[in-house]
Amino acid sequence: MTISPAAQTSQRPVLVVDYGAQYAQLIARRVREAKVYSEIVPHTLSTEQLLAKNPAAIILSGGPSSVYAEGAPVVPRDLFEAGVPVLGICYGFQGMSLAMGGEVAQTGLREYGSTETTILSQENPLLQGVSDHKSWMSHGDSVSRAPEGFEVLASTAGAPVAAIANEEKCLYGVQWHPEVKHSEGGQRILENFLYNGAGLEPNWTTGSIVDEQVERIREQIGDSRVICGLSGGVDSAVAAALVQRAVGDQLTCVFVNHGLLREGEAEQVERDFVAATGAKLYVANEQERFLNALAGVSDPETKRKIIGREFIRAFEEAERAIIAEAASEGESIKFLVQGTLYPDVVESGGGEGTANIKSHHNVGGLPEDLQFELVEPLRTLFKDEVRAVGAQLGLPAEIVGRQPFPGPGLGIRIVGEITSDRLELLRKADAIARAELTAAGLDGEVWQMPVVLLADVRSVGVQGDGRSYGHPIVLRPVSSEDAMTADWSRLPYDLLARISNRITNEVDGVNRVVLDVTSKPPGTIEWE
Ligand SMILES: Nc1ncnc2c1ncn2[C@@H]1O[C@H](COP(=O)(O)OP(=O)(O)OP(=O)(O)O)[C@@H](O)[C@H]1O
Ligand SMILES: O=c1[nH]c(=O)c2[nH+]cn([C@@H]3O[C@H](COP(=O)(O)O)[C@@H](O)[C@H]3O)c2[nH]1
Ligand SMILES: NC(=O)CC[C@H](N)C(=O)O
Ligand SMILES: [Mg+2]
DSSP labels for 88-124?
EETHHHHHHHHHTT-EEE--S--EEEEEEEEE----S
Residue 9 has what pLDDT? 63
CB of 312 sitting under 6 A from ligand 1: no
From the CA of 406, how far away is ligand 2's center (Å)? Answer: 5
For 44, the 3-state DSSP assignment is coil
DSSP 193: I
Residue 6 has what pLDDT? 42
Non-local (6+) Cβ contacts of 507 within 8 A are 425, 428, 429, 432, 473
Complex prediction ipTM: 0.89
Which residue's CA is minimally distant from atom 3 of ligand 3?
62
CB of 177 sitting under 6 A from ligand 2: no
CB of 173 sitting under 6 A from ligand 3: no
From the CA of 163, how far away is ligand 1's center (Å)? Answer: 44
Active site amino acids: 90, 177, 179
Which residue's CA is minimally distant from atom 21 of ligand 2?
406
CB of 305 sitting under 6 A from ligand 2: no
Residue 358 has what pLDDT? 81
pLDDT by residue for the chain (528 residues), tens digit each? Answer: 333 444 456 789 999 999 988 778 789 989 999 999 998 898 999 999 999 999 999 999 999 889 989 999 999 999 999 999 999 999 999 999 999 999 999 888 889 888 999 999 999 999 999 999 999 898 999 999 999 999 999 999 999 999 999 999 999 999 999 998 778 899 999 999 999 999 999 999 888 889 989 999 999 999 999 999 999 899 999 999 999 999 999 999 999 999 999 999 988 888 887 888 788 999 999 999 999 999 999 999 999 999 999 999 999 999 999 988 776 555 789 999 999 998 788 777 665 545 677 888 888 888 889 999 999 999 988 898 999 999 999 999 988 999 999 999 999 999 999 999 999 999 999 999 999 999 999 999 999 999 999 999 999 999 888 899 999 999 999 998 778 778 899 999 999 999 999 999 999 999 999 999 998 878 999 999
Residue 351 has what pLDDT? 55
DSSP 6: G
- Counts of helices then strands in the chain (DSSP H, E): 14, 23
Atom of ligand 2 nearest to the CA of 526: 17
Q: Which residues on adjacent β-strands are paired with residue 145?
A: 103
d(C-alpha 82, C-alpha 414), whole Å: 52
Q: What are the strands, taking DSSP E only, across 261-372? A: 280-285, 335-337
The alpha carbon of 302 is separated from its chain's Cα centroid by a whole number of angstroms, namely 22
Ligand nearest to the CA of 90: 3
Atom of ligand 1 nearest to the CA of 344: 18
Residue 422 has what pLDDT? 98
Q: What are the strands, taking DSSP E only, across 120-233? A: 133-139, 142-145, 151-155, 163-166, 171-174, 226-229
From the CA of 15, how far away is ligand 4's center (Å)? Answer: 29
CB of 129 sitting under 6 A from ligand 3: no
d(C-alpha 398, C-alpha 391), whole Å: 11
CB 140 within 8 A of CB 108: no
CA angle at 343 for the pair 438 and 54, rounded to the nearest 5° = 145
Kindly report the length of the chain.
528
